[in-house]
Amino acid sequence: MRLLFTFAGGEGHLQPMLPLARTAADAGHTVAVTGALSLEPTVRGAGLEFIATGPDVRPQRRALQPIDLAAEYRVVGEYFAGRLAAARSADLLALCADARPDVVVHDEMDFGSAVMAEREGIPHASVIVIGAGSFVRPDQVAEPLSQLRADHGLPADPDLEMLTRGLILCPFPRSFRDPTDPLPPSARFFRREHVGRPGPSTPLLERLAGGPTVYLTLGTIFNTESGDLFSRVLAGVRELDVQVVVTVGRGLDPAELGPVPRNVRVERYVPQAALLPHCAAVISHGGSGSVLGALTHGLPMVCIPLGADQPLNAARCTALGVGRVLDALTLTPDDVIAAASAVLAEPRYRDAAAQVQAEIVDLPSHEDTLALLEDLPYRRR
């Protein structure tokens, strides 16, 4: 079977699908992944074929800005469901004419891929990439998606059934979803990461043995829009009796942080699946991938949302009692010390995270989930 995995954004849109794509390839299926050109190294590093489609995603250096959720919702409508969807649908039509996939698997924000697959009659599945939900608002996406469907000769869809009628795969635990925005009953959940399987040892991980470790990340997009946030957070964690591993991403030079204390190690990138089993807590921007990684390993968190879906994820972390939330614009080193000390010392945060972890452990594996994708062509017939 030929499977085409498509994503519309950056790393956070790609990563939830990679285990499924890798599992499909290991099972003998022909697999290709398509999306922003800058993510080619990530895809090829997973041993998968990559094809560039749509505009590239390259983070830009920007000053730290106040969170504006209304503006974030407009971006979903005007960009993801509008300009980006139109560009991607055109590229994917040409690609599918040559590749002729039997199944298309797209991230939930890749509206162009969904429209293309419907137009071509290709069975398709959507993978949830926004952990808390409540980010794709009908009032923002209805008009651009209606225009896109009309441009491709598809019937009107006033109730936006295109978003829910196909196979929906969710790598997040059910409890993390905002209860005001539930997934349809037909959604199928899966466990993205193997829990408890030790990753390969590295010199960095070997140096972490013997004491509690805190992981600090601001993601792969918003890390370049964080102003002096790294410095303020580091000024706090340096006072804690823990080791700290900081990843700044490929877009930042670790030297920009200047001299760091002895308990801090700064890297461009460390695979979370390898690092998190060695950690006691996570400080992050609250991105869906970072939050899911922490919860998969039962780790309490300090969330410092910067934009996009991060405020929604941070709110769910608060509601579930798995962490604390700080304001990126106003936080001081003392605020970081207080929040990190609390999630490290107070059992209620770790106990709440362990409850969510147990829910994740019980989810079907991505190997089991592959059978749902394999069945799609037969269901269509």
> pLDDT tens-digit profile of 49-67?
999 999 998 777 777 889 9
Nearest to 282 by CA among 357, 371, 201, 179: 357
pLDDT digits (tens, 9 = 90+) for 140-161: 999 999 999 999 999 999 999 9
| Kind and range of the H or E run holding 232 | helix 229-237
pTM: 0.93
Confirm if 165 and 117 have CB atoms less than 8 A apart: no
What is the structure's pLDDT at 199?
Answer: 58
What is the structure's pLDDT at 238?
Answer: 87
Burial (CB count <10 Å: 0-12, 13-18, 19+), residue 356: buried
Q: Count of alpha carbons within 13 Å of 48, Cβ hemisphere only?
A: 33
What is the structure's pLDDT at 246?
Answer: 92
Using pLDDT thresholds of 50, 70 and 90, give the confidence band for residue 270: confident
For the chain, the structural domain boundaries read: 2-191+363-380, 203-361
Burial (CB count <10 Å: 0-12, 13-18, 19+), residue 40: middle
- What b-and-e string marks burial along 56-91, b requiring 16 or more CB atoms within 10 Å of the CB? ebebeeeeeeebeeeebbebbbebbbbebbbebbbb
Tell me which of 166 and 349 has the higher pLDDT: 349
Per-residue DSSP letter, 166: S
Tell whether domain 2-191+363-380 is in CATH 3.40.50.2000.
yes
Burial (CB count <10 Å: 0-12, 13-18, 19+), residue 149: buried
Check if 2-191+363-380 and 203-361 are the same fold: yes
- Decide if pLDDT at 212 tops 80: yes
Query: Chain-wide mean pLDDT for the chain?
Result: 92
- Decide if pLDDT at 241 tops 70: yes
Per-residue DSSP letter, 191: B
Radius of gyration of the chain (CA): 20
d(CA 265, CA 249): 14
- Decide if pLDDT at 197 tops 70: no
Taking residue 21's Cβ as centre, other Cβ atoms within 10 Å add up to 25
- Decide if pLDDT at 374 tops 80: yes
Per-residue DSSP letter, 347: H
Burial (CB count <10 Å: 0-12, 13-18, 19+), residue 1: middle
What is the structure's pLDDT at 366?
Answer: 87
Tell me which CATH homologous superfamily contains domain 203-361.
Answer: Glycogen Phosphorylase B; (3.40.50.2000)
How far is CA 273 from its chain centroid? Answer: 14
